[in-house]
Structure 1
């Protein structure tokens, strides 16, 4: 039996195991171990490479800090204030709470830089409220998963850092290029959400109240300050994205610890309706006590413990694919397609299907060095292509069979993975539509980037 036949059988076997509900980490690990035997490489190479991923993967150092930032923002009440502001602006529309959840994902992404942290935080916070508000629990969980896709597009973004490093591009320019496409992704998903909610009659409407908007916006000032702190620090070069995450963690710790006693002194009850609160009551978020910090850190570590092994084993999978000649085959195939649009759309198709089975980091590590030079050779701007590439990779977060955000949303909401899939379809259509618009309109990515 040939090596190719054996690898095909291994791939079919792990696909069958996936359908039986075996965790994705084990699926990829089984494939990696099986192909390692076929390739004849030492089995202990897997452990060595996993160690290298986390000892030398500089960008991954930011991941635990971004996730911890998300949990601190959530626990301190800042995330709830951002969500309240989004709901005050959108609650008068059918499906306003679900649309606010997507808007809150966009705001949260501008602090956390992580799709999974965005999904986990907004999903755990707003899913119960959406279910209590008359939304289908499957739709509510799918909304949190879809909203999290902007986590790697709206700056700061770990994946933009990795892409910029691999392709020797300015990370600040990549961040700026992601602003408008990220905003368009949010608006498109909100439109899809409004349409579905209107068709099903989901959600309770609240009056459009300018005073409520002002109060919630005033109350969310700490969240806006955190967003500004991250963006200012990165864009001015005061600190790296990893340092930005650390600074934001420190800021959130200080805010949470200081605001807890102030909240008690001011008797700021989080259960009091916003309409009954004055502007002074909105100044101080709920906060947390010092003894609560270890439990918050443990929760962040649990999420990191889910993601880190997936990323590590995916990178090892990339190495096996390279040994099998996948990179050379892809490069020759795309190069043979010809002109500008042929290369553009072929690259998009490859990124889309790769995102269905791999996490965005290994997709970037494997494909960016292959596709980006080919795209540049036919006249596609490198910064524009980076946005096209990563928007496509972000769509993979809600595309089965991998769909990392779907697993995160399932974990924090308790809704089974396969029950979410139906309600991701409208969001997929919205995101793919924006993806093509961004691909065909370079100025959406480039208009804010400083021209030298």
Structure 2
């Protein structure tokens, strides 16, 4: 079979299974199975071997540990402390709670690395409070969901760990490259909140005095040290990303159990169980997606795609836009981790051909996929926020689209200005950037 026939079987079968609402992890395995039976050189046992080979990666241990750290931080009441700090910093602006929502998501993103943990933890506290103070439910849900995407853009990011581990890209460099895009996304959302507040006359809180600000900073200071420990440790070469995830867990335990005493020992088994359950889902997706990606590589489908795209004559910017569109579309239908393995491995040779920096390519992919968390039909963060706000998904889509427009402009800026995105990696880790 040639690349075209295999691609038709793989992607056609996968699309059909997704339409039939088969879970993504199983759809990937089922879509690739016929090829292993049809092609005489392959055997079904090879499918299992490729799946298990993908799990034999030390860096992937960071995924369950970062998820556990996020759950421990949520259980420790870190979100409450970050909300108080955000309220003291930006609560006095027009649409104060909307700005608080964005800022606390940005701060929590530097601790958790998970957008779903962000949406669930922050949404459960802020959405009811925003509704109580007169904010429209649709807007409250939309801003909570949209701000939560920063969880996988601002370091530490689980998606960046997976990307770096699978494609041999410096995870420390990816973490540094995610800082500026995360800040730009936060800025675009705060600007949109300001316009909403002026048009809808949303309430304004009283400005915090110096004593309240110092108290809020003091209360959240230990939590805010977490990203400094993780990022500083990786960039400084003190520990690997996997070791950093373990450090994050230990630090979260110390804060929650010993210092704040907000996580009783009897709650630890349930936190461990939830973390293991979510990690198992992600890691199983990695296995089936790796088998799918191996099959693409075996039949030289990426090479065929490169030759076809080469005929289009796309330059660096054109390829960047094409990459973003591809990830935006696939992110609407499947989870980000299998999307990285399938689409990332296919598009990587295309970006290498036009001279795109691997870190720049990764940031375009991660940011584009993060937007898939708020775009139906997948839109996991939007589903979580809508469930908390007790509102139908369709009723909040208008506000989501309004918030998404400036975020897409930020994505365009990321594509057009690679030097800005690569500034911090080149400054602190020039040996991994080039």
TM range, smaller chain: 0.7 to 0.9
For residues 11 and 167 of structure 1, what CA distance do their matches in structure 2 show? 23
What per-residue deviation string (whole Å, max 9, x for no partner) do you get for residues 134-183 of structure 1? 33334333323222222222112233233334444333222212211111
For residues 4 and 161 of structure 1, what CA distance do their matches in structure 2 show? 28
- Unaligned residue ranges in structure 2 (runs of 5+): none
2:184 aligns with: 184
2:388 equivalent to 1:389: no
What SS does the aligned partner of 2:23 have? helix
Shift of 1:229: 1.7
Which TM-score applies when normalising by structure 2?
Answer: 0.83
Assess, with a 3 A threshold, how the Cα gap between structure 1 residues 130 and 299 changes in structure 2: closer, same or farther. farther
2:262 aligns with: 287
Assess, with a 3 A threshold, how the Cα gap between structure 1 residues 11 and 50 changes in structure 2: closer, same or farther. closer
1:366 aligns with: 342
For residues 444 and 133 of structure 1, what CA distance do their matches in structure 2 show? 39
For residues 371 and 31 of structure 1, what CA distance do their matches in structure 2 show? 18
What SS does the aligned partner of 2:79 have? helix
1:282 aligns with: none
Assess, with a 3 A threshold, how the Cα gap between structure 1 residues 417 and 231 changes in structure 2: closer, same or farther. same
2:326 aligns with: 350
For residues 11 and 282 of structure 2, what CA distance do their matches in structure 1 show? 27
Shift of 1:85: 0.8
8 Å contact kept, 2:70–2:113: no
What SS does the aligned partner of 2:332 have? helix
Moved more, 417-426 or 153-162: 417-426
Pick aligned residue for 2:306 from 328, 331, 349: 331
Listed as ranges, the matches of 1:250-269 within 5 Å are 250-259=250-259
Shift of 1:241: 1.8
2:122 equivalent to 1:125: no
8 Å contact kept, 1:334–1:346: no
1:103 aligns with: 103
For residues 379 and 169 of structure 2, what CA distance do their matches in structure 1 show? 28
1:210 aligns with: 209
8 Å contact kept, 2:302–2:349: no
Assess, with a 3 A threshold, how the Cα gap between structure 1 residues 441 and 308 changes in structure 2: closer, same or farther. same
Assess, with a 3 A threshold, how the Cα gap between structure 1 residues 441 and 205 changes in structure 2: closer, same or farther. same
Shift of 1:66: 1.4
Matched residue count: 418
8 Å contact kept, 1:138–1:423: yes
Assess, with a 3 A threshold, how the Cα gap between structure 1 residues 302 and 163 changes in structure 2: closer, same or farther. closer
8 Å contact kept, 2:60–2:162: no
Shift of 1:434: 0.2
For residues 434 and 223 of structure 1, what CA distance do their matches in structure 2 show? 28
1:113 aligns with: 113
Assess, with a 3 A threshold, how the Cα gap between structure 1 residues 418 and 184 changes in structure 2: closer, same or farther. same
1:60 aligns with: 60
